[in-house]
Structure 1
Amino acid sequence: MGLLTGAVTGSWLAGDSGDDGARSAYTEAGDLWHSVPVDQLFPPTLLGKGAGPGGADRTWTRVAVAPDADCAGAFDRLLAKALDPVGCSRLLRATYTDATQNYVTTVGLLFTKADAAAMTALADRFEKQGLGRREDLMPLPYAAKDTVAAGFGAPQRASWTVSVLTDAPVVVYAVSGWADGRTVDEPEPAEEAVESGAASAPAQAGLGHEAKGLADRVERALRKNIGTPTEHPS
Structure 2
Amino acid sequence: MSTDAEFADARHIPPIPPQPPRRPAAAPDPAEDPQTAVLRRVPPAPSSAPAAPSGPTAPPVPPRPAAPPRAQQPPAGERPPPRPDRAPGSPARTAPAAPGTPPQPTARPAAFRDTAAFHLANSQELWSGPGERGAGQGTREPAAPSPAAPGSRPPGPAGGPPSQLPWPRTPLPPQGVGPTTGVPAAPARRPGARVLAAAACLVLGIGLLGGAAAGGWLTEKAAGAPPDAEAAFAKGHDVWRNTPVDTLFPRTVNGLGVGPGGADRTWTRIAVAPDSGCNGAFDPKLAGALAPAGCVRLLRATYIDATRSGFITVGAQITKADQAGMMALNTRFSTKNLGIRTDLMPLPYAAKGTLAAGFGRAQRASWTVRVLTDLPAVVFAVSGFADGRTFTDPQPAEAATRPGATTAPAESGLGHDAKDLADRIEADLRKAAGSPTQTREASS
TM-score category of the 2 structures, normalised to the smaller one: 0.7 to 0.9
Return the TM-score normalized by structure 1.
Answer: 0.86
> RMSD in angstroms over aligned alpha carbons?
1.3
Relative contact order (alpha carbons < 8 A, sep ≥ 6): 1 or 2 greater? Answer: 1
1:215 aligned partner, one-letter code: A
Q: CA deviation at 1:203?
A: 1.5
> Does residue 97 in structure 1 map to residue 300 in structure 2?
no
Match of 1:160 in 2: 367
Q: CA deviation at 1:88?
A: 0.4
In 1: Cα distance, 2:318 partner to 2:232 partner: 14
Q: CA deviation at 1:127?
A: 1.1
Higher helix share: 1
Which aligned pairs between 1:183-202 and structure 2 lie closer than 5 A? 183-202=390-409
> Does residue 59 in structure 1 map to residue 266 in structure 2?
yes
In 1: Cα distance, 2:232 partner to 2:263 partner: 34
In 1: Cα distance, 2:248 partner to 2:406 partner: 33
In 2: Cα distance, 1:114 partner to 1:222 partner: 17
Secondary structure class of the residue paired with 1:121: helix
Secondary structure class of the residue paired with 1:186: coil
1:28 aligned partner, one-letter code: K
> Does residue 137 in structure 1 map to residue 344 in structure 2?
yes
Match of 2:419 in 1: 212
Secondary structure class of the residue paired with 1:218: helix
Which aligned pairs between 1:4-43 and structure 2 lie closer than 5 A? 24-43=231-250
Q: Alpha-carbon deviations, 1:86-144, whole Å to 9, x = none? A: 00000000001111111100001100000011101111111111111110000000001
In 2: Cα distance, 1:180 partner to 1:147 partner: 13
Q: Alpha-carbon deviations, 1:161-209, whole Å to 9, x = none? A: 0110000000000000011111101000001011112222112211110
2:323 to 113, 116, 140: 116
In 2: Cα distance, 1:119 partner to 1:157 partner: 27
Runs of 4+ off more than 3 Å: none
In 2: Cα distance, 1:154 partner to 1:139 partner: 9
> Does residue 173 in structure 1 map to residue 384 in structure 2?
no
In 2: Cα distance, 1:121 partner to 1:203 partner: 31
Report if the CA contact (8 A) 1:64-1:94 is conserved. yes
In 2: Cα distance, 1:100 partner to 1:218 partner: 22
Match of 1:10 in 2: none
Q: CA deviation at 1:226?
A: 1.4
In 2: Cα distance, 1:223 partner to 1:44 partner: 19
In 2: Cα distance, 1:89 partner to 1:79 partner: 16
Match of 2:277 in 1: 70
Q: CA deviation at 1:146?
A: 2.3
Secondary structure class of the residue paired with 1:149: helix
In 2: Cα distance, 1:193 partner to 1:107 partner: 17
Report if the CA contact (8 A) 1:101-1:148 is conserved. no
Secondary structure class of the residue paired with 1:196: coil
In 1: Cα distance, 2:427 partner to 2:259 partner: 17
In 2: Cα distance, 1:160 partner to 1:151 partner: 18
Q: Specify the structure having the higher radius of gyration (Cα).
A: 2
In 2: Cα distance, 1:40 partner to 1:188 partner: 29
Match of 1:11 in 2: none
> Does residue 227 in structure 1 map to residue 434 in structure 2?
yes
1:148 to 346, 355, 362: 355
1:182 aligned partner, one-letter code: R
2:282 aligned partner, one-letter code: F
In 1: Cα distance, 2:311 partner to 2:319 partner: 26
> Does residue 86 in structure 1 map to residue 323 in structure 2?
no
Report if the CA contact (8 A) 1:194-1:209 is conserved. yes
